[in-house]
């Protein structure tokens, strides 16, 4: 089977999974415990690593831009550069990559294990659609938690940049000037664009990982292969979608 045919087959299967999941949207209030559990797994448990990494990404952005902009006498715009870069690009993309590696791999491993050990077949036999029980709560949870994680990532990145600017001798931009520059050129639309990106990335990651997990065939060895496939596919889709979503938002 050729590559385009395989890609179209997987695209069709993913869209069918989405359709079957959304068909059960009315049952979501009755699944509030599963929804809350998934919010905890996706959001709360990811918070420490998102906080630490975004803080240091903001710090590195400030350090690199401060070193370069010193030559042009433009250090006063470091806050603008770090703020816009985190809000529009680094915040949503970094959170999406972390979710793909941490949450996406866990989702794929869990669903692939259930498929290999015939737990999915058992649910189907009991007339319990796996899309309703296993996919829909995760899709709803990622829609809620991605904006929260992205906002936290932005804030940590901004404050990381502020600390570097204030306490690095060759930059020496105080935090007040840093945040003044950040607020002067930051528009609400910049933050909203980043949140829209995060929503798209998160939704696609969970959908793809659920699809690959539920379509695992074979024995235990295939579980690891499915996890690898899901993470790689998610990372590729994040970067591809980043271009197209950015272009759509810039020219909308």
Confidence of residue 241 (pLDDT cuts 50, 70, 90): very high
pTM over 0.95: no
Question: Which structural domain, as residue segments, surrounds residue 233?
Answer: 3-246
Q: Is 251 domain-assigned?
A: no
| Burial (CB count <10 Å: 0-12, 13-18, 19+), residue 28 | middle
Tell me which residue of 215, 247, 15, 208 sits closest to 115, measured CA to CA: 215
Per residue in 116-170, pLDDT (tens digit) is: 999 999 999 999 999 999 999 999 999 999 999 999 999 999 999 999 998 888 8
Burial of 70 (0-12, 13-18, 19+ CB in 10 A): middle
- Overall domain count for the chain: 1
222 belongs to a structural domain: yes
252 lies in a domain?
no
Q: Lowest mean pLDDT: which of 64-73, 163-172, 174-183?
A: 64-73
Question: Is 232 part of a structural domain of the chain?
Answer: yes
């Amino acid at each position: 089977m050729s590559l385009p045919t395989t890609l179209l087959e997987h695209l069709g299967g993913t869209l069918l999974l989405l359709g079957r999941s959304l068909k059960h949207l009315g049952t979501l209030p009755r699944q509030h415990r599963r929804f809350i559990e998934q919010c905890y797994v996706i959001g709360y448990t990811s918070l420490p690593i998102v906080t630490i990494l975004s803080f240091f990404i903001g710090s590195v952005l400030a350090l690199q831009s401060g070193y370069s902009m010193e030559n042009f006498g433009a250090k006063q715009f470091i806050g603008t550069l770090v703020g816009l870069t985190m809000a529009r690009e680094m915040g949503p993309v970094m959170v999406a990559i972390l979710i793909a590696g941490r949450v996406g791999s866990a989702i794929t491993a869990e669903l692939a294990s259930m498929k290999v050990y015939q737990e999915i077949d058992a649910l189907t036999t009991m007339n319990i659609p796996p899309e309703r029980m296993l996919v829909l709560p995760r899709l709803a949870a990622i829609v809620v938690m991605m904006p929260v994680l992205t906002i936290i990532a932005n804030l940590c990145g901004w404050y990381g940049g502020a600390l570097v600017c204030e306490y690095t001798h060759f930059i020496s931009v105080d935090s007040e000037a840093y945040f003044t520059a950040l607020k002067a050129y930051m528009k609400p639309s910049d933050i909203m664009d980043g949140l829209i990106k995060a929503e798209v990335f998160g939704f696609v990651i969970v959908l793809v990982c659920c699809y690959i997990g539920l379509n695992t065939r074979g024995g235990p060895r295939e579980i690891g292969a499915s996890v690898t496939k899901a993470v790689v596919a998610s990372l590729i889709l994040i970067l591809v979608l980043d271009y197209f979503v950015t272009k759509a938002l810039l020219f909308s």
